[in-house]
Amino acid sequence: MKIDLQYLAFIAIEATLSAGKVIQKYMNADIIVEQKDGGSTYASQVVTKVDLECERIILSHLQPTCEASDIGLLSEESNDDGSRFEKDYFWCIDPMDGTLAFINKQPGFSVSIALIAKDGTPVIGVVFDPSTETLYHAIKGHGAYKNRTSWNIKNTNDYLTYATDKTLNNTANSAEIQQILNKHKTTLGLKGIKELSGAGAVMCAILALENGPACFFKLPKKEIGGGSIWDYAATACIYQEFGLQATTFSGETLDLNKRDSTFMNDEGVCYANLA
């Protein structure tokens, strides 16, 4: 079935902004935190009523398109029903990425929605940052946008920005990561390295675009985690439209429709805005 990407992007933007309003309503409230099955880290196991309310709002916008255009669904707070393997396209939803940042009342949380083809290619990516009220989106072949205006990034810093959820001091393999950062710094002739820590994976990728030259990556690991498909789907589309790297750690194409698991720990990820 042929789909209208412009129309579906409009619906995804409306859904993202609606969920963003829910988050903004609770930003200064004390929220009860619950735990769910997740990866090996606390960040992947926490959930709040806000995550669930955001998901309900998003699905109210997207489900009619699933029926009208025969689109599958994958959402962080719902069971994977396998429709992503059956349909030509599926919605990939993170109702609130960076829940830990939200709980700690610090910036770094966001709403993220993507439309992914069955072969794992992202064709729409929408991200809303409720803290700054900034909307980012991209449509395959139509460029990237910030607050609905064509977005041109400018890398003007004389240092390398490392966007990360955890501080380098609190990260496994920190010595290996430091070595990678130093190599980029030297290659690019930069004066130093600056760390931006505490955001979820979605906003880490956005911060790397906003603070170039910059990178965000996760090394491959055996433990379950490393983010899930929904953590990378929307921003992979945005990076794709900039012609920038959003790949596995080794530089292979990200598989955004993995069959064995939604987790990305086996191959890691690498987002680079170093040009």
Predicted confidence (pLDDT) per residue in 19-45, tens digit: 999 999 999 888 777 765 554 444 444
Nearest-CA neighbor of 108 among 14, 209, 206? Answer: 206
Residues 113, 12: contact at Cβ < 8 Å?
A: yes
| Residue 79 amino acid letter | N
Binding site residue list for Mg(2+): 76, 94, 97, 231
**In the chain, ranges of CATH 3.40.190.80 domains:** 159-273
Q: Distance from first CA to last CA of the chain, Å, rounded?
A: 38
Render pLDDT for 169-196 as a digit per residue (tens, 0 to 9). 988 899 999 999 999 999 999 999 999 9
Q: Is 253 helix (H, G, I), strand (E, B) or coil?
A: strand
Residues of the binding site = 76, 94, 97, 231
Strands 110-117 and 89-97: antiparallel
Q: Give yes or no for a cis peptide into 122 (omega within 30° of 0).
A: no
Whether residue 214 has pLDDT greater than 60? yes
Lowest-confidence pick of 57-61, 103-107, 156-160: 103-107
CATH of domain 159-273: 3.40.190.80
pLDDT of residue 48: 78
Q: Which of 34-48, 106-120, 151-165, 220-234 has the lowest mean pLDDT?
A: 34-48
Residues of the chain with CATH 3.30.540.10: 5-150
- Fold of the domain built from segment(s) 5-150: Fructose-1,6-Bisphosphatase; Chain A, domain 1 (3.30.540)
Side chain identity, residue 98: G
Provide the edge-to-edge strand list for the sheet that holds 245-247. Answer: 193-197, 160-164, 214-218, 269-273, 245-247
Instruction: Say if CB 120 and CB 88 are below 8 A apart.
Output: no
Is pLDDT above 50 for 79? yes
Q: What is the mean pLDDT of the chain?
A: 93
